[in-house]
Amino acid sequence: MSNGNTSPNYGFQSFQTAYTPNDSSTGDPFASFLLGLPNNEQVSITSHNPRLNSNYFAAYVQDDYKVRRDLTLNLGLRYDFDTPRNETHADQSNLNLTAPNSAAGNLPGALVYSPIATQGGTYWKDFGPRVGFAYAPAELFGHIHNIVFRGGYAIYYAALFYDDIPTGTIQFSNGGTVQPTFTSADSFAPVQALSAGFPSYTPPMASTDPTRLNGQNVGYIANSYGRPARTQNYTFEIQKELARDLILSVGYVGIQGDHLHTNIAQVNILNPQYYSLGNSLNLHVTDPAAQPILTQLGVSVPAWFEALYGPTGPQSGHDTIAQLLRPYPQYQDIGGSNNNMCSCLENLGVSTYNSFQAKLERRFRNGLTLLTSYTFSKTITNADSAIPVFSGFQSNEFAAQNPFNPSSQKALSYQDTPHTLVISYLYELPAGPGKAHFSQGVASKFLGGWGLGGVLRYQSGTPTILNTYVSSPPSTDGAFRLGIVPGVPILTSNHSSFNPLIANTSQSVKVASPSGCNENPDGTFTPMSSNNFFNCAAFIDPNPSSLIATRGWIYGDAPLVLGNVRSPSYYNEDFSIMKRTTIHENHEIDLKVDIPNAFNRHTFGTLDGWVGDSNFGAPKGLSVSNATRQIQFTLRYKF
């Protein structure tokens, strides 16, 4: 009998009530429990559970200033500051990249503890001005009337957001944990009767060892990561009344973001200058073949390195040339949620959004209300999600191919939808009481009170993400990309006849015809079948094993996303039919029929972007992104 999900935990066996020691044929665990005689006891004790605090303050002033009758200014200023979180009792740790590591020959890079340790520095310059104007001249160019010009500029700061997936705050606390376990020595005598309490043990102590995580992956929060994300918004709009109650608006909206949350720093990645070593990077430093390479590089192997990573070390097997050449060889990966380490507050992200927006609005007149909007936009970023690991789930790229050039990660957003058209309307038929036709009599009851409404939405598909499953050098985060063969079309000549149903092997089909590609020894690809959407010959693995041995590792030049190859466009029409019948004064019957996705369209999701998948180019899972048509009737009696 035991409950492994509690602390302390007591286990009861039959031995303590058996006839003789180690006698499993007599005795009963429940009897041992009733007598309070455990066979084993365990407790998990932490010296200090972290309690994190942070503060956020903001103040603003704003005023509207009417310069003259046709010109109004809106002026404002907001000031924010957000303090990075800190442990209430100052029991916290962090990696300091300049602190000497005493167990690694005093190389820079060691843990520091409170009060030196911080989880980012406070940024004090969060000033957010707001400027807007509205100009409505009575007459423009002598003959243009009923026109308004609007514009504005504003800076916004986001609150600090911690990416605690999946490690939480544990690594940044210096609290120690012990799990003392006591077991019966002879499988007969109890550890200690419950009435005597838990056996004595040495309680844990808060650590102050700067070398505690040597040889492991370690989280990292730079002081500069305390600067919050910032967006600059700028807009300009022209609004013109074309006719009575008919208004046209056209404008530009731009958003520029910086210091956005990312997972691309990779502080301890191998420098690309060593990629030419190829497979030699995997050699153990004690291997005779490694000696001339190290001599040529002018690198010696310190005693602590082999003691830490050698065959008898706590992190055995990592004593390779690649590990020795890391910027901080006393650690493996530093930061990065792909390494089960928190990329907390990393803020290297940038984004740009530019759009042309048009809107035609018909205010309620003669029974008709109409709103039509169109947006043409483009979004480029290297930070597609506030939690970077989530965008990694979409692209399978949890890190940067080349963190030494972060701008190379900036690409078309996988959420980019360049064209969006939305039409919504509500029309009341001109019949019935108070209308132009059939305002009285029996006909008004049957023909009056009818209304039609609808929302129509049409938008572009999203870009195809080329997944990063190709081989990558050791001591990197495995984010190398494919290569593109120049002059070869991305799509096959018969892509229009591609059948995703038989390509998707997860579906129940009589004959499967996979659309993926098989890799050849030279890194080129050949199709698995004739049913292909993408042209396998357009892609190449830049690092097949045969080439790594002769010329080392190189970067792939394939883009992160293909903006010219998108998922199917989204089309959806929702309609509603309404009938309102007045029986007598305050008594009314309302009938409504809602028809979402009236034409039962099937809009599939993003395309599979890995060349080696048997479903390459097919919509992932063949699942649809809009709901199936379901007609709903509602009858309501109001009184």
Q: How far apart are CA 26 and CA 253, in angstroms?
A: 81
Locate all alpha helices (DSSP H) within 121-265, ordered by sequence.
none
Q: Which two tokens mark 200?
A: 């004595």
Q: Domain-by-domain residue ranges, the chain?
A: 52-166+217-265+345-409, 272-335, 466-566+608-614
Q: Which segments in the chain show pLDDT lower than 50?
A: 2, 165-170, 509-511
Cα distance between the two ends of the chain:
65
User: Which DSSP string corresponds to 314-354?
Assistant: TTTT--BHHHHTSSSTTSS-BS-GGGTS--TT---EEEEEE
Let me know: does 122 contact 226? Beta carbons within 8 Å. Answer: yes
pLDDT at site 170: 46
Tens-place pLDDT, residues 200-209: 888 887 778 8
User: Which element (helix H / strand E) includes 396?
Assistant: none
Let me know: does 14 contact 26? Beta carbons within 8 Å. Answer: yes
Let me know: does 315 contact 218? Beta carbons within 8 Å. Answer: no
Q: Tell the residue number behind the tokens 């690309």, with chain if given.
A: 272
What DSSP designation does 33 have?
H
DSSP 3-state of 583:
strand
Q: Are strands 419-428 and 411-412 parallel, antiparallel or unpaired?
A: unpaired
| Model confidence, pTM | 0.84
DSSP 3-state of 221:
coil
Longest dimension (CA), the chain: 112
pLDDT at site 4: 52
pLDDT at site 489: 96
pLDDT at site 169: 43
Tens-place pLDDT, residues 73-124: 999 999 998 988 887 777 788 899 999 999 999 999 999 987 777 888 899 9
